């Protein structure tokens, strides 16, 4: 006779944003937390936070030797990679362990370390132990996509999960992909003195960005790194310690191969369909506006259920799910109406709302303004020649439809445009309804808005 699953009031699968579901509302609930890796999820351990710590060091390294036009002579004397890695993970790893230790210390929380799989309706199995919950939250995130390329299964490769813990810098790094992960990590390793090659089937990098931003970014990066773009990949091979990516146009060889070809949700890996939970054709868990799945009292949040795959959207989801479980008569929908994002490469990129190509494809009328940093006093002081802010607005309502910035401080400069977008301000109100500090770089935003 099989043993009945252990019963909990709430089961949370994944301890990234899912860990934050446990608000004080659940202090008296019997809770199970399941984590197959380390506490904190992708953002803390393998994504946002460590990558930006590497990016900051890379920014400092990249500037060295590039200040002569300002009358400042500088050189990069060296990069101590093991110290950089130690600084990053010496700070991060204790946070992850501390989070797990804290959850273990709570009387009402049971932590299960292991790979969870659904084995029946609302029944999970972890290390041979079965459990179920009145409420189940699917917060298991996403993982790097491994493309089906001939020969790839026969060569060593890294993903963003592993490459930041390399023991030493390679001489030559080949990056497969052209999105934000490739852009950020390409900047990191190039700035550290590695010869970086980026191989991408598209002829542009960051092709999901606004077309003018993507084109400008591609041009700038191609001046720094070897970019093999716009050619189908035939396969991958290894000869000795050298790994070669074969494209129809040419071969690209390096010591280390990094796959940065996107991320896929973990719903199928978790076996959610065995519990009756629906997946869409891309593998994302299907939810309604309140993040309920089609199975009663099974919820989903973050990367497992929508393609935005951003920490700030996952946090918004978490707040909604926690509230909705605790207050079933007062359901709240997360606000995904204006999801901003940024790419912390060099140059930086930030955006909110629609791209120009998306508006054009929909046949939606729009007004457009593009202003370079060099039109502002601070941009002039920087002698910047490539950065710009672009704004798109509805010609009738005068409200912002999209905003896109490429250049230094882009993720910071975009914030006031995010606020205006979210609260329905007109471009006139944003441009004239406040004073802009002179000569701050924010004047590039003011000038772009005024042009509309």
The full set of domain ranges for the chain reads: 6-144+264-326, 152-261, 347-451
- Sign of the torsion angle spanned by Cα atoms 421, 427, 429, 430: positive
Residues forming beta bridges with residue 228, ordered by sequence position: 199
Q: Which residue of the set 104, 121, 336, 438 is catalytic?
A: 438
- Please state, in angstroms and rounded to a whole number, the distance separating the CA atoms of residues 229 and 28: 56
- Please state, in angstroms and rounded to a whole number, the distance separating the CA atoms of residues 434 and 160: 42
- Please state, in angstroms and rounded to a whole number, the distance separating the CA atoms of residues 147 and 145: 6
* CA 47 to the chain's CA centroid: 7
DSSP annotation string for 15-69: SSGGGGG--GGGTTS-EEEEESS-TTHHHHHTSHHHHHHHHHHHHHHHHTT--GG
Under CATH, to which class is 347-451 assigned?
Answer: alpha beta
Max distance between CA atoms of the chain, in angstroms, equals 81
- In CATH, the number for domain 152-261 is 3.50.50.60
Judge whether 336 counts as a catalytic residue: no
- pLDDT value, residue 117: 97
- Please state, in angstroms and rounded to a whole number, the distance separating the CA atoms of residues 228 and 294: 44
Residues forming beta bridges with residue 33, ordered by sequence position: 12, 111
- Please state, in angstroms and rounded to a whole number, the distance separating the CA atoms of residues 119 and 115: 12
- pLDDT value, residue 237: 98
- Please state, in angstroms and rounded to a whole number, the distance separating the CA atoms of residues 253 and 197: 8
How close are the terminal C-alpha atoms of the chain, in Å?
A: 73
Question: Fold identical between 6-144+264-326 and 152-261?
Answer: yes
341-343 β-sheet, strand order: 341-343, 349-353, 400-406, 388-393, 367-372
Would you say 441 and 409 are in contact if contact means Cβ atoms under 8 Å apart? yes
- pLDDT value, residue 2: 58
Report pLDDT digits (tens) over 132-179: 999 999 999 999 999 999 999 999 999 999 999 999 999 999 999 999
CATH of 6-144+264-326, one of 3.20.20.70, 3.40.50.720, 3.50.50.60, 3.30.470.10: 3.50.50.60
- Please state, in angstroms and rounded to a whole number, the distance separating the CA atoms of residues 226 and 205: 13
- pLDDT value, residue 338: 84
- pLDDT value, residue 1: 38
Would you say 297 and 136 are in contact if contact means Cβ atoms under 8 Å apart? yes
Ranges under pLDDT 50 in the chain:
1
For residue 74 the two structure tokens come to 């500088």
């Amino acid at each position: 006779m099989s043993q009945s699953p252990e019963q909990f009031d709430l089961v949370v699968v994944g301890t990234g944003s899912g860990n934050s579901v446990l608000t004080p509302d659940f202090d008296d609930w019997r809770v199970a937390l399941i984590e197959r890796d380390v506490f904190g999820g992708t953002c803390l351990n393998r994504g946002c936070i460590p990558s930006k710590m590497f990016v900051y060091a890379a920014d400092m390294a990249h500037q060295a030797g590039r200040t002569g036009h300002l009358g400042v002579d500088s050189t990069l004397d060296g990069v101590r990679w093991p110290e950089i890695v130690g600084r990053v993970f010496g700070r991060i790893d204790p946070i992850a362990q501390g989070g797990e230790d804290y959850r273990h210390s709570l009387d009402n929380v049971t932590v299960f370390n292991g790979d969870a799989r659904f084995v029946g309706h609302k029944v999970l199995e972890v290390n041979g132990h079965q459990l179920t919950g009145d409420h189940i939250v699917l917060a298991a995130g996403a993982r790097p996509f491994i493309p089906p390329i001939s020969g790839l299964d026969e060569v060593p490769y890294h993903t963003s999960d592993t490459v930041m813990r390399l023991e030493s810098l390679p001489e030559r790094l080949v990056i497969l992909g052209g999105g934000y992960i490739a852009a950020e990590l390409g900047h990191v390793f190039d700035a550290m003195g590695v010869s970086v090659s980026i191989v991408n089937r598209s002829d542009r990098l960051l092709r999901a960005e606004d077309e003018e931003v993507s084109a400008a970014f591609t041009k700038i990066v191609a001046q720094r790194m070897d970019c093999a773009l716009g050619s189908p990949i035939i396969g991958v091979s290894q000869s000795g310690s050298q790994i070669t990516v074969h494209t129809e146009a040419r071969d690209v060889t390096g010591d280390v191969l990094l796959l940065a070809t996107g991320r896929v949700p973990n719903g199928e890996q978790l076996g959610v369909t065995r519990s009756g939970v629906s997946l869409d054709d891309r593998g994302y868990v299907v939810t309604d506006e309140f993040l309920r799945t089609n199975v009663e009292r099974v919820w989903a949040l973050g990367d497992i259920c929508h393609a935005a795959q951003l920490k700030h959207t996952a946090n918004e989801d978490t707040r909604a799910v926690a509230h909705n479980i605790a207050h079933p008569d007062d359901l709240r929908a997360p606000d995904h109406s204006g999801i901003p994002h940024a790419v912390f490469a060099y140059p930086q990129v930030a955006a909110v709302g629609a791209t120009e190509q998306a508006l054009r494809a929909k046949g939606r009328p729009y007004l457009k303004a593009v202003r370079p940093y060099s039109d502002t006093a601070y941009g002039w002081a920087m002698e910047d020649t490539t950065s710009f802010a672009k704004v798109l607005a509805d010609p009738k309502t005068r409200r912002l439809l999209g905003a896109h910035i490429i250049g230094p401080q882009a993720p910071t400069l975009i914030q006031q445009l995010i606020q205006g977008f979210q609260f329905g301000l007109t471009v006139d109100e944003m441009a004239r309804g406040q004073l802009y500090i002179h000569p701050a770089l924010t004047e590039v935003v003011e000038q772009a808005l005024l042009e509309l």
